[in-house]
Structures are given as C-alpha cells and as structure tokens.
Chains A and B, each alone.
Chain A
C-alpha cells in the first residue's frame, strides 16, 4: 500500500464514499456490490453441501474445466462468422465442458480404484492444460479478437452490467428454490449417502443436480471473480459458517450471509483501489471472516473449544482429588459415619497414579475453590463444602460401578477404570435413574471392590 493510499484512507472524504458505497448510494458501484453479494450468497449455499459432502475441491476441478469450453465456444463462433466474444455463447461452452469435467470425476471415482482427490486432480489439470492450449490456438486466429478471454481466469467485477445482475439473481433464486425442494434428500446425501441409496434415493441423480448447481454458480461467477477465485466463494463461507453452528438450516443461511457479506464488503473496498484485482479483495475479505470464525466460532471455534476442554479438565481433576481424599479417609477410619479428619500428603500422593506436577496443581486448584485446606501441621483436610462434594462424587462413582457390575457384567476388579471414564459426565438426572435402577437410597455407598494404592512405589 503506497503513501497515496494511506492519505486516501485517512481523509474523511474516503469514509464518506465508503459509506455511500456500502449502503449502495453510489450509482456506479451499486450494481457491482449487489451482484457480488448475491453471487457470494449463492456460492455459500451450494458450497455448504459440497463441504458436508467432503468435496469442496470439486468446485476447483469444475472451474478449471470450464476453460476449454470457453476456447472452443470462441473458435466455433468465429468459424460460424460471429465475433467470438458473445458472452452467452462463451458461458454455454464453459457450462458444457464444466459439466463434462464433473461427470468425468464421478465416473472415474465409480469405475476405478482412484480416490476423489486423484479424480479431481486429473480432470482439473488435464482440462486446464487443454484449455490453455486451445486458448493459445484461438488467440492467434487471424481476424478474430480474442483479447480479454483470459479475464475469465482472474475476473473483472467492475465490468458487470445489469443483465449480469439479473442472471446472478435468477441463479440465486433458482438455487434457493431447488435447495428448499430437495433439502431432505440433499441432507441425507451429505450425511450418509450409503443409507440414502439403500433407502432408494437416486443418489447419482442427486449428485448430478448438486453438480449442476455448482456448475451454474461457477459459470455465472467466472466473469466477475474469475475461475480461480470463485473456488474461494464456494469453500470459504461454508467452512466459516460451520464454526458457528451444527444445524444444517442455520448453516445454510449463515453461509449465504457470510458469502454475501464477503462479496459486499470486498466489492465495496475494491471500488477504491481500482488498480487492484477486485476478485482478490473479495477472497481476502472471505479469508479474514474465516479466520475470525475459526478462532471465535462458538460451536467449533478453536478458542471456545479450548476453554471447554480446560473447564472439563478442571472438573475431572477436582473429582479425582476429592474422591482420593474421601477414599483415604474411609480406609483410615473404622467408624461410621465418616468424620472429616486431615490426611497426610504422602498418603494422597501414593493413593493413585498422578501425572507429573498434577497433584500440586490439583491441590492448588482445590484450595482456591475452598474444597481443601492445609492444616498447620502440613496435613490436608477437606472443607465443609469439599466434604459434601467429595462424598457426592464418590457416591456417583460407586453407583456407576454397581450399575456396570450388575447390568454390564464387568468384573468388580476391573470396574474402577471403566467407571472413571463416565463418572465425570453423570448428570443429576442420570444419578436418579441409576438409583432407581439399582433400588438404592442410602446416602453413602461401600466400594464394590477393594481400594488399592495404585502408586507404582507400592506395587509388587
């Protein structure tokens, strides 16, 4: 970015125009901004199905496969005496070879041992190579002006005209209508295609409809964002949306929204940097939205997932240390009910296998949560709330153990480890169910197995 750009950004005039562009007040850019936004939304919807079908790169193969079609259509139109630059003709050619490429991918996948990635790679590279070879030939046809044919590779949003906008809107509406009609079938296809075919759904036909939609949006997008960057619009918005929700319907709307937003913001910004390729700015905008989604998205985002894992880890650690203390007290006392007496650190250390540094960390955590207190003598003692919590946790553990012994036929000597896996996620309702199942009402439970010291220093 040059100094002149920075001045432009700093000036208030820039913000005025930016706001005008964003809110479609400027006539020049209104069309382009609307067009790319609708295109992004369409690609976002169709891309969602591709993503869930784990075939995101099919858009990649398809868009490359349109190139020979453009070249051939040009040559044919020139041969027929036309100018060769007729847009619907070129797009028709692109559609034909694009569809052919996708069908070839499906055919290779079904009739050979080759996997998806290889099938797509073959079609992509061979068709693109063929396309480049054909373009090179037709560009040198005497008397025909093929200049600008390669704008299909990078795209020129600014060249969008009213008829393009109408085509994009029609594609968007058609996509939404088709998706609404066969949403159930497409959902089944995406999540379990084997089940779909056993239930008698025409999976191949559905695949072809999906591919047809992908082809439509790719061909429509060729002219505005170009064949390489339309791939981004098919992949990035759905992947971003996936971080925010696990509900397919919500994901479709969100993906359409993110795609639309990328197109809208990207096209608005690119109105100011006319020398920069607008398609690239749109893609980078989508990339930034993806990055934000990947970090903060509440459903699958990296940060929320990390926090959830940390919380679970704390909970598991708390339950481990409190149950250990409780079990030690039980072993040390003959009398019933149990009295809350202090225990030594050494006993606790030897009671179960702690990973390195785990015990001091858990003791610190338990003390900060007011579950455990250190006596002046250096021994550890449960607080009042800690004692209650510990007896509850131990009881849940034993409930689950009893259930496993009684209903899952697991030997009492093996049940401890199995119970350990599940006890941390036992909810209150589950505990009631277990009690009812086992017909238990006592407040405390005896361990169904001998509690041994697990520490290696005592083993053998």
Chain B
C-alpha cells in the first residue's frame, strides 16, 4: 500500500471523531447508559427524513437540526416511558429507537427514495470519500493547508464536547456518581442528563454524515470501557479514553489497508475496522491489563469472600 494525502485526511477525520465520541462516552459509562449512543444513532433517521421533507435539500444545517432534535427526543421519550410507565430503561430505549428507526425507514422510502439518502449511508457512512471534499484553511505562496470538510465538522463536535465538559466538569462528575447529592446541592441532575444527551446527539449527527454511526457507537462505548478496566481515577479515565480512541482509529485505518491485502481481498471500510480495532484494544486490556484475566492471581479472589457472583 502507499500512503497518500487522502489517507492523512481519513486518519484526521477518524481520530477527531473517535476523540469527540470518547469524551461524552466516559460519562455515559459512569451513568450506565452506554447503549444510549446506539439508540440515538439509529433514531436520528426520521429526523433526517423530516428535515429533508421540509427543506427539500440535503443542506447540512437542516439535516443537522433535524437529526439533533430526533436524538434529543429519543432521550426524552426513553425517560418518559421509563418514568411514567415504570419500564426498565433498557426496554424503554429499545422500544423508542426501533420504532423511530422504523418510522425513519418508511419516511425515507416515501420521501427521498430518489435522493442519495439511505439508511445504509447513515449506518456505514463513507469515510473513504471525506478527503474528496476539502476546505482550504490557510494558503500562502509557499504552502497550502487543506483539510477535509468533515474534519472541521467532527473537530467542531470535539471542541464543543470538550468545552461543555470543561465548563461543567464538577456538575457532571457529581451528577454521574451521586445524583441525589447533586440535587441537594442545586445542580439539577436532570439538566445534566439532557445536556449529556444533547452532546451525544450532536456528536452522532456531526459524525454520521462523514463517517457513519458505527464509529460513533463503538467510540462512545469501547474506549471508555477499556480505560475503565485500567483506572478508577476520572481525569485519568477521560485522558486514557481519548488516547485509546485515537489509537483505535489509527490502527483501524492502517489495518483496513493492510489486512485485506494480506489475505488477498480488496480494501475494506475504515469505519468498520476502526470499531474492530477499538474492540481489539479492549480485548488486550481485558486479558492482559492490570486486572486482566490472564494476570489475575488467586489471592485477589480470596480478598472478596462470600460475595454472590457478579450478575
């Protein structure tokens, strides 16, 4: 394989996107809501279709608003169903996202069948094509700095997430670990919940057009979960997640070029491989990390006698 400018572009988009996802993913993990990313990324479909129906164009801003609204509605509906109907949150999430996804499939079929907007494109994205749409950042006689437009979008999402988490770090932490205490201190845990959901929705929407929602779902969950096996310290958890996310994206792109040629097949999608490599890193840490399966001594098990099996 040969390294081209396109590869750099893909890598840049992938890394930025992975890091943008890993940030809110840490708090999703702590709040035991990791599946929310999966739910939101499926449920944005009707938002896209309705935005298209209203604006009659594939203008990015209309799609963005439509999908973001659909994403936040998913979080709202899930909350309502589990609160008013006293339904398990997982089940509520499952009902909301499958129903919205089904509505989205029908709307797209009805309204946008002839346009380049299909469910597959939302799910898989087309990270391979991102380098085709370049934006010139800086230009003078000697040099020219161009980046894919998608890099700006996911970079913006990363910046937004970093800003929000930076501003409300204390509130997020408290609301994640002890919502009741947060409420007594006047921090409004529900507000934090919806802010987190908004972050997830915006990140999902910013990413799917460029890279598809597979990376989003994987990077929201896998790097924070991997980091969680290594540390119990929150700042370290966030830092490690960012690093692991970036590493997963880089490895993913490299292997998407290398592996198929090794076994004599054509190149494959980078986004699928990025998710796979994030999973591979998790497997490594799971087996070999500080608490790793293969390193676990018998003494550790004796320190927790009589506990029921973890279920």
User: Which residues from A are CB-within-8-Å of B308?
Assistant: 194, 197-198
Q: Evaluate contact between B214 and A118: CB separation under 8 angstroms.
A: no
Binds A, one of B64-72, B131-139, B146-154, B218-226: B218-226
**With A114-B229, A126-B275, A284-B102 in contact, do A300 and B269 touch (Cβ < 8 Å)?**
no
Contact of B103 among A109, A132, A234, A280 (CB under 8 A): A280
How many whole Å from A362's CB to the nearest CB in chain B? 27
Please classify how large the interface on chain A is, using the bins under 10, 10 to 19, 20 to 34, 35 or more.
35 or more
- Is B273 close to A, CB under 8 A? yes
- Is B208 close to A, CB under 8 A? no
Contact of B35 among A121, A228, A234 (CB under 8 A): A121
Q: Evaluate contact between A284 and B229: CB separation under 8 angstroms.
A: no
- Is A1 close to B, CB under 8 A? yes
Distance A124 CA – B308 CA, assembled complex (angstroms): 27
Distance A154 CA – B104 CA, assembled complex (angstroms): 12
Distance A55 CA – B124 CA, assembled complex (angstroms): 26
Q: Evaluate contact between B282 and A129: CB separation under 8 angstroms.
A: no
User: Which residues from A are CB-within-8-Å of B113?
Assistant: 275
- Is B86 close to A, CB under 8 A? yes
Q: Evaluate contact between A130 and B276: CB separation under 8 angstroms.
A: yes
Chain B stretch 102-147: residues in CB contact (< 8 A) with chain A: 102-103, 105-106, 109-110, 113, 119-120, 123-124
How many whole Å from A30's CB to the nearest CB in chain B? 24
- Is B173 close to A, CB under 8 A? no
Q: Evaluate contact between A197 and B279: CB separation under 8 angstroms.
A: no
Contact of B276 among A129, A243, A280 (CB under 8 A): A129
- Counting chain A CB atoms within 10 Å of each CB, which of B86, B225, B278 scores highest? B225
Q: Evaluate contact between B99 and A283: CB separation under 8 angstroms.
A: yes
User: Which residues from B are CB-within-8-Å of A283?
Assistant: 98-99, 101-102
**Nearest 6 pairs of A and B residues by beta carbon:** A129-B275, A126-B279, A133-B272, A232-B98, A121-B221, A125-B218
Can you list 20 A-B pairs with a CB-CB distance of less than 8 A?
A: A114-B225, A114-B229, A121-B221, A122-B222, A124-B35, A125-B38, A125-B220, A126-B222, A126-B282, A128-B217, A128-B275, A130-B276, A130-B279, A138-B265, A153-B120, A229-B102, A232-B102, A236-B94, A236-B99, A280-B103
A interface residues (Cβ-Cβ under 8 A, vs B): 1-2, 51, 54-57, 59-60, 108-118, 120-122, 124-134, 136-138, 140-141, 150, 153-154, 193-194, 197-198, 203, 228-229, 231-232, 234-236, 238-239, 242-243, 275-277, 279-281, 283-284, 286-287, 290, 294, 300-302
